Amino acid sequence: MDILNGFTSTLGSLAGGFGTALHPINLLLLTIGCFLGLVIGVLPGLGGTSGVAILLPITVFIANTGPGGSTSAVIFLCGIYWGALFGGVITSILFNIPGEPWSVVLLFDGFPLAKKLGKPALALSSSFFASFIGAFIATVLFTFFARALADVALAFGPAELFAVFIMSFATLIGLGSESPAKSVMMIGFGLLLAAVGFDTLTGAPRLTFGRIEILSGIGFVPVTIGLFGMGEILASAEEQGIGFVERLSAKVGLKDILETLRELRKRIWTVVITAVIGFWFGVLPGHGATAGSFLGYGLARQYSKNKANFGKGEITGIMAPQAAADASAVGSLVPMVALGVPGSPTSAVIMAGLFIWGLQPGPLLFIDHPDFVWGLTASIYLGHLITFTMCLLAVPLLAKIMHIPYAIITPFIVIISIIGSYSLNNSMFDVFITITFGFVGYWLRKMKYPLAPLVVAIVLGDSTERELRKALIASGGSPLIFVGSPLAATLMILAIILLLLPVIRNVRERRARPVSVDPAA
Amino acid sequence: MTRRRFVSLLGAGMLVATACGGGATTASPTPAASTAASASVETMTQPTRPIEFVISTAVGGGSDIYARAMQAIIEEQKLSPQPVQPVNKEGGSGAVAFTYVFEKKGDMHYIMITLNSFFTTIVTQPALPYKATDFTPVANLALDPFFLWVNEDSPWKTAGDVIKAAQGKELVVAGTGSKQEDEVMFLRIADLAKTKPFRYVPQSGGGAVATALAGHQGGVEVTVNNPSEGLGLYQQKKLRPLCAFTPASPTTGVYSGLATCKSQGLAIDDYYIMRAVMAPPGLTPAQQAFWVDVFKKVFESAKWKTFMDTNALVPDFRSGIDFRTFINNYQKLHQDIATKNKWV
């Protein structure tokens, strides 16, 4: 009975929230926010986080004059976040450059599907549908379970998080390579790059060769812009542009949407499950859409029947990470609202906004400012609906970009790559990194080294190391901490199983196969 | 749409993109441009182009929140003839930002928000080619006190209980970053109360420290969070402050009436996080005076007063010789701590 009462009162509050969010001016602000977010998302380098940060001063004005006060301001800021989530994938899919950190994983399958298989419209609409569904599921979870889940998330300490990261690695090992040895080498290279810079735990500079600009480390965004965007251009230039264009489906239209829906129906459970996992990952304070998208991709790949297609334009490889990324972005608002601690870098900026508008983030928001909380919640539903509609309408136009001859578009890709990496930190060093990794990427492609494991290791390496060391410091060096709590033990066992699964499967397949058919084995 | 039209449209789009990317993030001047401008820069007393407000932590960190609040006040009250743009230069526990501003010698178009990492990092990184005292001090706007925190379910009720426990076994504690202010506090506590060494687990920021304590992550039992960092979880009854490392109990806000640590046998009341503004080395007295005046007005604004109340900051405006003395004292304090703990 209590649960039912809680449910109906939540629905009542939510209806009130929709009342706030649907105020014409709030709706207008939300639409502007989503549109700005889309543009910011499309530009590589200028991420959703910095987009929100740059526009933060404007929100002071909105909070003072808008019809909902700080609610109008937060609706506007969150609109930017949602827009950027959708916008980032456009750059990944069309230009092979990550528009946002969380669209890095979209490079693995998005660009191949758009370019090599000639289906840009399918690739784009797949990601948009997945985003929308992921966000919707996450928002429903947010509406009903935000406060309860935030409490559970608190118990996730370094040992538990380390197990989760090991799971991510386990599901992503062997990605895009026939040779496990090459994968392992690439993971090692990625971990080495991730280690560069100031060590937050001991305070010592590592692998900086005494240079100040390397102190802040090598960012994975300039590296991936180089590896994928520039590297691909160099590789294609050598092959004289390749006849991609001929393979493009001539017309873009309703047909692609219908095909997307058909493909989505086949994968609906994968999308739902990765969305739930992504949401949960977002709820854990301090992590966000980027790590969530990698975990979503890895898990979907591990359990897919078309495992071999991953990295070559598999639709699940677009839908799963995108659903997870959007869901974890929504999830990252949970600790902000329910605990008063940021769930992701972007939500940290939104939280800074709350302070500036004179609100105290945390559980008291539900009691002191219910209008704010429920207006925000309602705007998450609306914001995604608006962004989704805008994106879907833009698909035909965006897909046409692929028809532009490679010779014309290449200089633009180079320019936006360089501007993108420069604008990350206003630093020429990042541009240098991007160009260097352009050549590295080209060479690795030629030598048939897989790029995906390298990227995974750069993105997750630092966090994994930090959690491992934090756990060991807390336990005084005893590894027993990783099985010290029931939660940690369960997660660790799962991680180990995931790690061993491919090995076992491999051995079994080899045994089942007659030796003569497989001379390579 | 014909292909040609579309290509030109795309071209235009790219141009806009370029413009936005540059405009929104304030391209720093090329070395040539800044040399050419330096002649006039030295004689000016007012900024003539947009100002970069450099922040040494990532977006959303404590400094970031404070800097953006100050910037909002400057914009709102039109205290500067040119726009002030926050720029995050995180990394290296502040070293990246300090170096960036240090290299802008004599240019008043750069200011920087600083906290104690301005001392701890510079002292412990001998490779850095400058000292804290090399920069042009502008003003201190507030002092952020430390509290002693435990989880709500902890049996310890006073600082004395914590000390007694810490004398018996190695307690797991958390704080922001290694060799940073939180660790300085724990070392002082261990030294003063003759406890066993603390197992100090560095976290990525103040919010993470509070979360670690609230969730007993990795067995964390005590922290020395700032009031603003623990507020959310305190109101949710997940954390409990035992005492304040201040000379007197807070008299306003939610922490009103909290006992001092000194009254519970832990006599530390002289250590705060400064929330101060610095400028590059070599500003002229007139240029320095311009910024002192701006931040004096920020300090006096009603908005900043509310902001300090919300975040339990201690109002503390210092500039000129007063602020220089403060910097010299803090510089020496951190140098001594670093030497004593063999960090240098």
A154-210 pLDDT per residue, tens: 888 899 989 988 888 887 776 655 677 888 889 899 999 999 987 767 767 888 887
A258 exposure class (CB count in 10 Å sphere: 0-12, 13-18, 19+) = exposed
Q: Does A49 touch chain B (CB under 8 A)?
A: yes
Q: Mean of the pLDDT values across residues B173-182?
A: 89
Q: What is the pLDDT of residue A5?
A: 79
CA distance B216 to B200: 14
**Given an 8 Å threshold on Cβ–Cβ distance, is B219 in contact with A39?**
no
- Compute the distance between CA of residue B218 and CA of residue A484 in angstroms, rounded to an integer: 9
- Do B76 and A154 lie within an 8 Å CB cutoff? no
Query: CB under 8 Å, gap of 24 or more: what pairs does A363-372 form?
Result: A363/A147, A363/A338, A363/A339, A363/B232, A363/B235, A363/B236, A364/B235, A364/B236, A365/A337, A366/A147, A366/A337, A369/A70, A370/A13, A370/A16, A371/A16, A371/A17, A371/A20, A371/A68, A371/A71, A372/A70, A372/A71, A372/A74
- Give the angle subtended at the CA of A187 by the CAs of A439 and A104, to the nearest 5°: 65
- Residues paired with residue B239 on neighbouring β-strands, in sequence order: B151
How far is the C-alpha of A363 from the C-alpha of A380, rounded, in Å? Answer: 19
Of A35-44, A59-68, A250-259, A443-452, the one with minimum mean pLDDT is A250-259
Pairing of strands B222-223, B172-176: parallel
DSSP A115: I
pLDDT-derived band at B170 (thresholds 50, 70, 90) equals very high
**Bridge partners of residue B148, in order along the sequence:** B243
Type of residue at A40: I
Q: What is the DSSP letter of A285?
A: T
Question: From CA A497, how far away is CA A501, in angstroms rounded?
Answer: 6
Mutate to test the interface with B, among A212, A351, A367 (most CBs of B within 10 A): A212
**A321 to A46, A276, A280, A295: CA distances (angstroms):** 21, 12, 14, 8
Which is nearest to B147 in space by CA: B252, B266, B310? B266
Which residues of A are less than 8 Å from B98 in CB distance?
none
Q: What pLDDT is stored for residue B16 in this prediction?
A: 39
Please tell me the distance from the alpha carbon of residue B277 to that of residue B84, in angstroms, as a whole number.
Answer: 13
To the nearest whole Å, the CA of B269 is away from the closest chain A CA by 26
Nearest CA in chain A to B236: A363
Q: Chain B contact for A404, CB < 8 A?
A: yes
**Which of A38 and B13 is assigned the larger pLDDT?**
A38
Give the integer Cα–Cα distance in Å for B100 and B243.
38
Inter-chain contact A466–B204, Cβ cutoff 8 Å?
yes
Q: Which residue type, as a one-letter code, is found at position B114? A: T
pLDDT band at B5 (very low <50, low <70, confident <90, very high): very low
Q: SS3 of B51, please?
A: strand
Q: Does B26 touch chain A (CB under 8 A)?
A: yes
Contact at CB, B3 and A425, closer than 8 angstroms: no
Cα–Cα nearest to A276, from A154, A459, A141: A141
Q: Which of A103-112, A508-517, B49-58 has the lowest mean pLDDT?
A: A508-517
Please tell me the distance from the alpha carbon of residue A36 to that of residue A82, in angstroms, as a whole number: 10
B213 vs B35, residue with greater confidence: B213
Residue A352: which of B68, B92, B204 has the nearest Cβ? B68
Amino acid at B176: T
Mean per-residue pLDDT of chain B? 85
- A91 to chain B, any CB pair closer than 8 A? The answer is no
Residue B1 has pLDDT above 50, yes or no: no
Mean pLDDT of B247-258: 88
3-class DSSP assignment, residue A394 = helix
How far, in Å, CA of A381 to CA of A137, rounded?
10
pLDDT digits (tens, 9 = 90+) for B110-143: 999 999 999 999 998 887 889 999 999 999 999 9
Q: How many CB atoms lie within 10 A of CB A502?
A: 16
Q: For residue B172, list its beta bridge partners.
A: B199
Choose the closest CB to B236 out of A347, A352, A363: A363
Selected for mutation to probe chain B from A61, A65, A215 (highest B CB count within 10 Å) is A215
Residues of B in contact with A342 (CB under 8 A): 60, 207
Per the DSSP assignment, residues forming a β-bridge with B201 are B174
DSSP B263: G
> Which positions 233-272 of A are in contact with B (Cβ < 8 Å)?
none
A102-108 average pLDDT score: 90
Give the lowest-confidence range in A396-405, A435-444, B180-189: A396-405
Task: With beta carbons under 8 A apart, name residues in chain B contacting A426.
Answer: 25-28, 87
Helix (H) or strand (E) holding B137: strand B136-144
Can you tell me the mean pLDDT for A416-444? Answer: 89
**Does the beta-carbon distance from A341 to B204 stay under 8 Å?**
no
